[in-house]
Structure 1
Amino acid sequence: MSGRIRVGIGGWTFEPWRGAFYPEGLRQKDELAYAGAHLTATEINATYYSTQKPATFAHWAGAVPDGFRFAVKASRFCTNRRVLAEAGESVAKFVHQGLVELGDRLGPILWQFMPTKKFDADDFGAFLKLLPDRVDGVPLRHALEVRHESFDDPAFLTLARDAGAAVVLADHPEYPAIHGHDVGFSYLRLMRSREEEATGYGPADLERWTSVLRDRAKAGDVFAFFISGAKIRNPAAAMAMIERLGA
């Protein structure tokens, strides 16, 4: 493999994980450090809803070990709009809020679009031109999560490839599973965990997705997150996959 595989969950604050993933009695302020010791990545969801302070990013970076990565979910004010080409001010505000304070723990930026957002080549192409390839000298990697079937279009895939942006591969019962071109890294969101499965995904499914991750790692880094579904099981799913990858 030429890339490293990192596996994680969405966020790290979720009350039902206390006692299921986090040990009983663990202080809430220590939960990120615990997640960092047992997983290899996580998505930051708070950035989707509001701007964070540089000191907050620095604190998060200091709580996790070397090699851990944060994928940062872009602000909804950038992506939840009728005309994406008009998102320039919001994009600039988002990337300059202090992301660089994550240092070498900074992973890709996730740009998530509503299921109702349809593909418009001109508008989406203009949006991609707004995404900077670096901020304050720090390189940025972008991943696009589109949820409408109209994006399953060679024109969209070409736009994403030319922009150097990864297309998120989603394992979801309703969203399309779109396979993008090789841009040097991959991003997957696995959203079919089930509560009746102790590890969210059954052994056969975990093995299948582990094989997918290994194959994608031949072309570069891979980021995979267990999201949504039976959320209480997602940490167990991530740890089970990390164990398989180690084996």
Structure 2
Amino acid sequence: MNKLSKRMQAVAALVQNTTCLADVGCDHGYVPIYLIQSERIGHAIAMDVNRGPLLRAEEHIREVHLEDYIETRLSDGLTALAPSEADGVVIAGMGGALTKRILAEHPEVWKKMNNLVLQPQSEIEEVRRYIYAEGFHIEEEDMVEEEGKYYVMLRCVPGKAAPLTDVAFRYGGYLLQTKNEILKQYLIKQRQQFSEILKKLEIQKLMPEQTVLQKPELLRQSATQQDELQQKEDGSTRRFERQKELEEKLAMIEEAERIMGEKI
């Protein structure tokens, strides 16, 4: 049975040096099934916070007669896993904030492991920073595109390492060093998107706006007119802040291009 999506195949490929794998948020249980069948691991604990996914996983495990190799547990994150019970973990398909919460709640469990394979759906930079702050580092990364969406997966191992630069935390030091082709595609799309938005903001800035009235005149205006003027001032401030944010993101992309050694 290999019903893994491209994203989950990339996640499974990062599982290394693991005897017993904990799969947090196991859903259908396809990752541990695949890894057992390919003799990459010897045992797995498939865990999910909801009963429904566990029942589906149990059904799939029975279909391939792997009940002796994969057990299931109802668990909120790593709660149902004891320290040293597994030497590797997969946490995939969750938001970055949730991924960090799961790790932060049970450091006594995952800090005894050889490998963490993480695939946060958002806030990837924050997850990278958290891993380094907690005494682990990223040894390998991958990035895939599937149905128009981009996914990053990280293999983290114990041991402190030199902190990454801001651009490496943002886009992945390993991906930059290996000149990952999917990252190149992603950066091109990001550059186009940010540049187009920046042009629209610059056009808006050039459009004539009603001059803000001096204080004596402002006092004679109705409350509604004053609110309208304030909204325009607020809009200008937000536009300036957004423009600055986009310029910083474009500068980060240029730095990523420099590291990868080519203009993309």
Q: TM-score, normalised by structure 2?
A: 0.30
User: Bigger radius of gyration, 1 or 2?
Assistant: 2
